[in-house]
Amino acid sequence: MSGRDGRGEGDEGEMVGRVLVLNTGSSSVKYRLLAGAERLASGTVERIGEPGSPVADHEAALKIVATELADRGLGLDSPELTAIGHRVVHGGTTFTEPTLITEEVVRKIEELVPLAPLHNPANLAGIEVTRRLRPDLPQVAVFDTAFHSTISPAAATYAIDREVAERLRIRRYGFHGTSHAYVSREAAAAVGRPGGNVIVLHLGNGASASAVSGGRCLETSMGMTPLEGLVMGTRSGDLDPAVVLYLGRVAGMSLDEIDELLNRRSGMRGLCGDNDMRAVQERLAAGDRDARLAFSVYCHRLRKYVGAYYAVLGTVDVIAFTGGVGENSPLVRQTALDGLEAMGIAVDPARNARGERIVSPDDAAVKVAVIPTDEELEIARQTLGIISRTNRG
């Protein structure tokens, strides 16, 4: 069974109907139209609101999407369209499941804007435009945080003053949840342990890890924001919080400057100047010392999280690599898991180099899998799941 055929835990029957999946970001809109698991159309509208761009705002961008679909005879007015599924970044503690969008839901997503000031407003703009274009059509919000809502208070709580934390909603939420949900399920199925214990390493430009048991997320590496955790393309990941105080007090940097430093000029870019892992690996192969340090910091952090999540889970059935780096870099997979044989973790060099679905040796206690993520398919599945549940009453 391939990772893209849309099957999962007996929900095949629910994968009927046509869903337009929209990922409306601050400067781009990505869309995919799916009939079940089949991709009918997809595309991206970029440079929204940038100087000199023909795409003035989200309304203009979504009209381009509507026109592109209509040109292929798949317009938004098509009676065959069952629903629209929107990616929404932050659901706070309000939304722990995909949710049919109503006025009240829109208002509650607005209340969460302070927690995701760049993302939620863009997501809302997408929702508002499509609701105006097709007011009769069911629309579903699928939250990036929802899959992580099952982490325990022990995992979710920062050890700071509780009154301050509660008043300001400071806690760990986690992100990339749609990907972690999809990949953990696919990985467990791929090794014949549906419902087993999975460590997912989602390594793209952003990167996050999760520990999943019986389909429930127990831990994840991103926190109140996507800055915490693994080393990323341009984000630092874990850092002594006092570094922020030091940058302010001693270096005299403003909060905006520190934000920019940690989110855009850190991670692999900060360490060696390149945020693209392909470029880092080319320089590494050519003996570049900065690239070597950057690569070793990246892999060391990953290994640390694998060890920590092994402890959280107690036993591990499969470690799943996904995202642009996780799916395509045998060197990252090999290096991050190097020396963990005593934990039952090993990578078979030939299988790893070929990027097979299972890259661990046959006799390994812990399987290592490469699972291409598919967030759009997962959003479509979850959207149809909500629609069919709603229809059943």
User: Which residues of the shown chain bind ligand ADP in the complex (CB under 6 A)?
Assistant: 204-206, 233, 276-278, 281, 323-325, 328-329
Q: How far apart are CA 221 and CA 160, in angstroms?
A: 18
Is 278 marked as a binding-site residue?
Answer: yes
Task: Please pick, among 144, 274, 317, 374, the residue that the annotation labels catalytic.
Answer: 144
Three-class secondary structure of residue 274 per DSSP: coil
C-beta nearest to ligand ADP: residue: 324
Q: Which is nearer to ligand ADP, 44 or 254 (CB)?
A: 44
Q: Is 30 annotated as a binding residue?
A: yes
> Tokens representing 306?
């694998």
Half-sphere exposure of 120 (CA within 13 A, CB side): 20
Which CB, 30 or 131, lies closer to ligand ADP?
A: 30
CB of 23 to ligand ADP, least distance (A): 10
Task: Tell me if 58 is assigned to a ligand binding site.
Answer: no
Question: Can you give the length of the chain in residues?
Answer: 393
Q: How far apart are CA 316 and CA 343, in angstroms?
A: 9
Distance of closest approach, residue 274 Cβ to ligand ADP, in angstroms: 9
Instruction: Please report how close the Cβ of residue 174 comes to ligand ADP at its closest, in angstroms.
Output: 15
328 annotated to a ligand binding site = yes
Supply the DSSP symbol for 341: G
- 144 classed as catalytic: yes
Q: Is 326 annotated as a binding residue?
A: yes
Tokens in use for 154? 């022990």
- The nearer residue to ligand ADP, 325 or 366, going by C-beta atoms, is 325
Tokens of 298: 């990246």
Give phi and psi for 369, each to the nearest 5. Answer: -125, 150
Q: How far is the CB of 46 from ligand ADP (least distance, A)?
A: 13
Comparison of 188 and 284: residue with beta carbon closer to ligand ADP: 284
The residue type found at 208 is: S
Q: CA-to-CA distance for 18 and 81, rounded, in angstroms?
A: 5
Residue 204 CB, nearest approach to ligand ADP (Å):
3
Q: Is 252 annotated as a binding residue?
A: no
Closest CA to 140 of 44, 14, 22: 22
- DSSP conformational letter for 348: -
CA dihedral defined by 36, 122, 207, 21, rounded to 10 degrees? 0
Q: Which helix (H) or strand (E) holds 242?
A: helix 242-249
Nearest residue (CB) to ligand ADP, 238 versus 276: 276
Binding site for ATP, by residue number, is 30, 202-206, 276-278, 324-328
Annotated binding site for Mg(2+): 23, 375
Residues flagged as binding site for substrate: 87
The residues that are catalytic are: 144
Q: Which residues are annotated as a binding site?
A: 23, 30, 87, 202-206, 276-278, 324-328, 375
